[in-house]
Structure 1
Amino acid sequence: MNDDLLSRHRAVLPDWLALYYEHPIEITHGEGRHVWDSDGNRYLDFFGGILTTMTAHALPEVTKAVTEQAGRIIHSSTLYLNRPMVDLAERIAKLSGIPDARVFFTTSGTEANDTALLLATAYRRSNTVLAMRNSYHGRSFSAVGVTGNRGWSPTSLSPLQTLYVHGGVRTRGPFAGLDDYDFVAACVDDLKDLLGHSRPPAALIAEPIQGVGGFTSPPDGLYAAFREVLHERGVLWISDEVQTGWGRTGEHFWGWQAHARSGPPDMLTFAKGIGNGMSIGGVVARAEIMNCLDSHSISTFGGTQITMAAGLANLTYLLEHDLQGNARRVGGLLIERLRAAAAHVPAVREVRGRGLMIGIELTRPGTDEADPAAASAVLEAAREGGLLIGKGGGHDTSALRIAPPLSLNVAEAEEGAAILEDALRSIQ
């Protein structure tokens, strides 16, 4: 059955639409932290539809909210008052930490980042944008234009002049050999030098932990140090929280809070996990920035009633069950278990991450040379063992990405770690 579906897929969908696995699988249903494919195979899900299934598959509270809302009205657009949208916006504005916050809902993280770039460039009257090397911000024309990861940037054409800054990857690049203090200082000096050679930028857009880049991150405080330099020049800071938001890192609710010395960002973007699979994205910004547009604008599908109902139910469940705390506790156990397993696998260069956002970088043993073939082999072996994971990385996709639903329990973490250990050992 999958062979027929694969043939049909290839006949009508783009060649560049990536599929995992030598023999792609069709996922038909899920429950909790598990999913099943069309052949009846059961998998422990450590990737959650690219970090979108944040709490659990088929979470009853979300399913009930969606069903009840669908029985009333599914959609009306932003041209009419929308109670669920206002309810969710109020909660997100308060949680964001941004003073006098306004919230605009979109349908994806790409669209959220696109909107943030529109706001920043309009507010600052500049099309120059700072971004991080190894970054990824989405698939739209403007988002691709600020993506610092060659593997995910299909065109060099862009409406923006983008300047790339050091610091998103701690263990690679010219400053990798420095201690954390000197690393941050060197990155700040690089930023100051870059600003001295460029037109005044509109904003810096940065992921606190780079998602597609392989779950890499700088030392805590780097973006606070950047913010001090940028603030003197009126340059905005956009924190891309599409993957780090909603408590996934365990230590903080937002990724920017690891860099909180200078307070919250001017804008943050979100998506993925808030809808637990429903299509929700958005931007939070100070009112003066959000309200800077001087033309009409709406969103046809952003903030539609059915997705807002899902987001409200999902956020309520997340907070009431302290899934951030669970990510910290279970994620801490999982990362230590994986580090112990990786110590016996020469191909593992680094196990990194926070909470339930963990990356394992693979290289050819004894070198820093990326090994994408090894990453693909581990991905396949993990699936054969009953575990679904992701992959990414800025060096030829040689990092494994592990991001289970935040309700993962200790037994499931141990089960997944054991499968992944066997998969890593199989490439030796």
Structure 2
Amino acid sequence: MSDLDLFARHKAVLPDWLALYYADPLEITHGEGRYVWDAAGKKYLDFFGGILTTMTAHALPEVTKAVSEQAGRIIHTSTLYLNRSMVELAERIAQLSGIPDARVFFTTSGTEANDTALLLATAYRQSNQILAMRNSYHGRSFSAVGITGNKGWSPTSLSPLQTLYVHGGVRTRGPYADLDDAEFIAACVADLEDLLGHVRAPAALIAEPIQGVGGFTAPPDGLYAAFREVLQERGILWIADEVQTGWGRTGDHFWGWQAHGDSGPPDMLTFAKGIGNGMSIGGVVARAEVMNCLDSNSISTFGGSPVTMAAGNANLTYLLEHDLQGNARRVGGMLIERLRAVAAQHQGVREIRGRGLMIGVELVKPGTDEADPDAAAAVLEAAREEGLLIGKGGGHNTSVLRIAPPLSLTVAEAEEGAAILERALRSAP
């Protein structure tokens, strides 16, 4: 059956709002390392990893073996029973988190992780007010949509929460873009202090250290440390949404919050995506006082399942033993410089930004500062034709190409992808 036949069946039975890439959507049938193949047998270099989820490699033997062996023993029990692999992974994540006296709760996705963090924060603080960043994205549940500051991913204004949006997530656009880094931070802090002077104290600030769907944008290092000082004075919690930035993807740090770490770790961090290398794992890490604040029972039917925990443990071991954070720093740094050299020859590229293997290429109409989503769509298609899969995002205009390969990417593969992207940029209208 062709992709077009499958696409017709998809449209007949699945929601219209279920996003698909490409004019002729692609069915991926298998992968190995940093490459995947479609149903027709065409090979692609994967620079998006299933939205930053295939973090180490496709068909990583250590992970597939762990999954297969566990599935052969027992697939499911639920959190009503002791689960050795869940306890082991929780112990490792608690230690890696940097949060003192940490507790870990596993979910099945980043959306559910953020939803849990919001439950904990609002219950602990007895407030339904949440601070969130403009241009942010935190998931597709009702509560997560209610704190998402990205119009293109906010299908309703209805919410169980009162959300107040803060400046600072986008460095090169907005009212403070022309300031230097120190002035930018000072202006954002002053805005936050002014906002808090007009409202009852919110429960928490939730922020992505680098905004994912928003186009891999980030504030200057230290902004969230400065915010943290303001929040701590008022007892307001800080939730670091590490769904896309965790596990060493940024190269410089294991967690994105560590670029803003002068005032210590967050009260909570949420994680998902890469830890499972494709298996459905999400979770929340919080200091015990916050995690244990709920006064009723709860479980997670599928969170922390034996199979996903086996995958997570094997994947984390591989990540640490092979220093994939260091590889992200080295290969990602080289790739960013290579792309900046390409951008210097292309008037439609406004900015190359990012850290490690989390890189954004922002496109604008040549000679202007106006976002160019049509060009981004055209480059996405041209790259696919040449055998490279990338993502896109960036506010509701989706004019940013998102590059986030598996962290085991080699120098040769980085050069291969950069060359394809260079040709794709030149071919775009």
Answer yes or no: same fold by TM over 0.5: yes
Question: How much does 1:395 deviate?
Answer: 4.6
What RMSD, in angstroms, separates the aligned Cα atoms of the two structures?
A: 0.5
Q: Deviations over 1:406-425 (max 9, x none)?
A: 00000000000000000011
The aligned counterpart of 1:141 is 142
The aligned counterpart of 1:277 is 278
Question: How much does 1:199 deviate?
Answer: 1.4
Amino acid in structure 1 at the alignment position of 2:271: F
The aligned counterpart of 2:196 is 195
**Equivalent residues in 2 for 1:179-218, closer than 5 Å:** 179-218=180-219
- Quote the Cα distance in structure 2 between the aligned partners of 1:114 and 1:247: 24
**Equivalent residues in 2 for 1:218-229, closer than 5 Å:** 218-229=219-230
Indicate the SS of the match to 2:163.
Answer: strand
Question: How much does 1:198 deviate?
Answer: 1.1
The aligned counterpart of 2:54 is 53
Question: How much does 1:337 deviate?
Answer: 0.2
Q: Does 1:37 align with 2:38?
A: yes
Indicate the SS of the match to 1:376.
Answer: helix
Q: Does 1:417 align with 2:418?
A: yes
Question: How much does 1:366 deviate?
Answer: 1.4
- Quote the Cα distance in structure 1 between the aligned partners of 2:79 and 2:85: 12
Indicate the SS of the match to 1:131.
Answer: strand
Amino acid in structure 2 at the alignment position of 1:214: G
The aligned counterpart of 1:99 is 100
> For residues 248 and 399 of structure 1, do their structure 2 counterparts lie closer, same or farther at Cα, with a shift above 3 Å needed?
same
Amino acid in structure 1 at the alignment position of 2:264: G
- Quote the Cα distance in structure 2 between the aligned partners of 1:368 and 1:163: 27
The aligned counterpart of 1:240 is 241
Amino acid in structure 2 at the alignment position of 1:339: R
- Quote the Cα distance in structure 1 between the aligned partners of 2:37 and 2:200: 52
- Quote the Cα distance in structure 2 between the aligned partners of 1:102 and 1:35: 37
Amino acid in structure 2 at the alignment position of 1:305: P
The aligned counterpart of 2:354 is 353
- Quote the Cα distance in structure 2 between the aligned partners of 1:359 and 1:369: 16
- Quote the Cα distance in structure 1 between the aligned partners of 2:290 and 2:31: 41
Unaligned runs of 5+ in 2: none
Indicate the SS of the match to 2:36.
Answer: strand
Amino acid in structure 2 at the alignment position of 1:400: L
**Equivalent residues in 2 for 1:29-178, closer than 5 Å:** 29-178=30-179
Q: Does 1:363 align with 2:360?
A: no
- Quote the Cα distance in structure 2 between the aligned partners of 1:2 and 1:238: 41
The aligned counterpart of 2:6 is 5
Amino acid in structure 2 at the alignment position of 1:323: L
- Quote the Cα distance in structure 2 between the aligned partners of 1:3 and 1:133: 38
Question: How much does 1:79 deviate?
Answer: 0.2
Q: Deviations over 1:308-342 (max 9, x none)?
A: 00000000000000000000000000000000001
Question: How much does 1:70 deviate?
Answer: 0.4
The aligned counterpart of 1:255 is 256
The aligned counterpart of 1:300 is 301
- Quote the Cα distance in structure 1 between the aligned partners of 2:28 and 2:139: 24
* Contact preservation (8 Å) 2:30, 2:38: yes
TM-score by length of 2: 0.99
- Quote the Cα distance in structure 1 between the aligned partners of 2:116 and 2:366: 43
> For residues 395 and 2 of structure 1, do their structure 2 counterparts lie closer, same or farther at Cα, with a shift above 3 Å needed?
closer
Unaligned runs of 5+ in 1: none
Indicate the SS of the match to 1:71.
Answer: helix
- Quote the Cα distance in structure 1 between the aligned partners of 2:392 and 2:93: 30
- Quote the Cα distance in structure 2 between the aligned partners of 1:245 and 1:306: 21
* Contact preservation (8 Å) 1:370, 1:395: no
Aligned residues: 428
Question: How much does 1:427 deviate?
Answer: 1.7
- Quote the Cα distance in structure 2 between the aligned partners of 1:347 and 1:326: 30
